[in-house]
A and B are shown apart, each in its own frame.
Chain A
């Protein structure tokens, strides 16, 4: 494999990871959505590049889907939800920026320490992609944990998904990637736009999940 193939794939993966860090410290909802859109765009580029170097046409479909759904449709729709519901523009995080970043860096270290020793038989490209992907997954989890807002959690969940897609496209010959992407997209779209936001709004006038938690069935 020419080294340029490796370099570009590696760089795109690293940029996706960088965007995950950017997601961690954003305060404003609209910028969280923007960063997520940017991450998905880079992910689409990474998928297309993998499609090119692996000579796997179905990855172009993956790239196209990621670009249209996650970089355009979902962010636009979420922005409309925010405008329509006039939600507070900034959101609380459970941890400050400093501790969140330290936690993020330790998660990346953890995933590198976890992945690299167990993958001696795999090509360097795949194994480093996998370490990056696992980091994105863990950072997505961290984003979900540190956000108390429904939209923040959904974005965290979708960025976690981006990590999964990054892992899947990096593995040569992986079947069913397109199907999985569609399954995830259906899941997110169905839940978010169909049901939850409007009903949460109806009941509480807010998307802040702390308000929800007062309704725990047992605490009556």
Chain B
């Protein structure tokens, strides 16, 4: 774009980075919340400019078809969530659950978190990718512990320890990739640069790559929330502020999966190495089935939807594991739809828990009667997330199930079983949450439901009609992923 004389990548990264420092100095929480939304909005505009003017690949940053869409999605969801966060935080201060000094810290960390996610998405260098994912862990650990309750501290500690080990293993995998590429590409930066590696990877010895990929999958897979390394995820989602649950589920899991996929592309390009697909399929199915059955025993509403996130990340990982144009297409679509839907659900949940003053499912009833917008928003969100038409997730799950039946009929059975079991659990809980005699406060919600409605409309539109350019573009990315 003519408006930006510098590389737009720098603008996209500089905005949240500077905002993180700036917001730490703003005392007034009302102003800070507005500035937070403003910074997120500007980041969104800057990220959209990537579509008109795609910058050259540099040794540090890379923009291709794959990450450009995730950058836009991340900027969009972090913008809409920041709108919700503004009114959410205001309410938390009113009921004195948060002290103003923590709110300053919260806004600063929100921007820092957005910065690390965008950095991870745009990084071309595997070391920078790793540092960014580590930074994302750090900022979210701090935000999860924001309420300082015993449960929040325990959740943050568990998150820190598990994901700390995860990213440590991912670093070991990264070192192994470098070691594998060194005989071919020599020392120094090129052997750590993804785009350079892609060109030379077919000459690299496959054995060491195999070992590296196992570490990478387990390492970054911990952050995706894949079973059996998912234990941090429900706690972190349940105990932190709800806007953070929305961005954790909607964005951070995607970013971690993106890291795994970059390495999967290297493995596929190598040709002789172990096929990464089966490993991902097994981990994906295990997560799906485990989370689907665990859904039945949840009593806390945020935990319920956290388990649903594990389930969906399992489905997406499985889709990319199967590979091929259709399954990859389904995976990409599912990633987008899950981001939008799950953040909408968490916004609805945040509104509901604020008016009812509890997170227990048994104490929240009849939302559609007491709060029609929140209640029906939650109904629409849950119907979308379980994969009912006409919402977008139906489309992606349908594509995935049909292509699995065609290619791996035996694996289609556990896939369908998982989806159906999760469907049952969520619908069961939804009935008591949304319908029946209302309990608790009838006071209108203080926060805005606009972002939730916007997300749900997008998911609905995508389910009915996907614009032709978007389809073509997803197809191009699906081919890129191999």
What residues of chain A have their CB less than 8 Å away from a CB belonging to chain B? 114-115, 117-122, 126, 130, 133-134, 137, 141, 144, 150, 153, 157, 160-161, 163-164, 167-168, 171-176, 179-180, 183-184, 186-187, 190-191, 195-196, 199-200, 203-204, 209, 212-213, 215-218
Contact = CB atoms under 8 A, between A and B. Distances in A.
Interface string B153-177: 1111100110011001101100110
B179 interface: yes
A172 to B, nearest CB: 6
Interface string B210-248: 110000000000000000000000010011000000000
Contact of A118 (B125, B128, B175, B211): B211
B211 A160 contact: no
B93 interface: no
Contacts of A187: 134, 137-138, 164
Given A164-B168, A199-B153, A200-B153, 4 more contacts: A157-B165, A172-B182, A180-B130, A195-B156
Q: Is the interface of A mostly helix, strand, loop or mixed?
A: helix
Contacts of B210: 118
Given A121-B183, A215-B151, A217-B300, A161 B168 contact: yes
Q: Most chain-A Cβ atoms within 10 A of its Cβ — which of B168, B192, B207, B210?
A: B168
A119 B138 contact: no
A119 B145 CA distance: 43
Contact of B187 (A137, A150, A173, A200): A173
Contacts of B157: 150, 196, 200, 209, 212
Interface of B: 125, 127-128, 130-131, 134-135, 137-138, 141-142, 145, 148, 150-151, 153-157, 160-161, 164-165, 168-169, 171-172, 175-176, 178-179, 182-183, 186-189, 191-192, 205, 207-208, 210-211, 235, 238-239, 297-300, 303
A190 B138 CA distance: 8
Contacts of A130: 176, 179
Given A126-B179, A173-B186, A176-B192, A215 B160 contact: no
A166 to B, nearest CB: 10
Nearest to A202: B148
A196 B141 CA distance: 11
B22 to A, nearest CB: 20
Given A191-B141, A212-B154, A183 B131 contact: yes
Contacts of A191: 138, 141-142, 160
Q: A-B pairs with the 5 shortest C-beta distances?
A: A173-B187, A118-B207, A176-B127, A215-B150, A212-B154
A157 B164 contact: yes
14 contacts: A119-B207, A119-B208, A122-B182, A137-B172, A157-B165, A174-B175, A176-B125, A180-B127, A180-B131, A183-B131, A191-B142, A196-B156, A199-B153, A200-B157
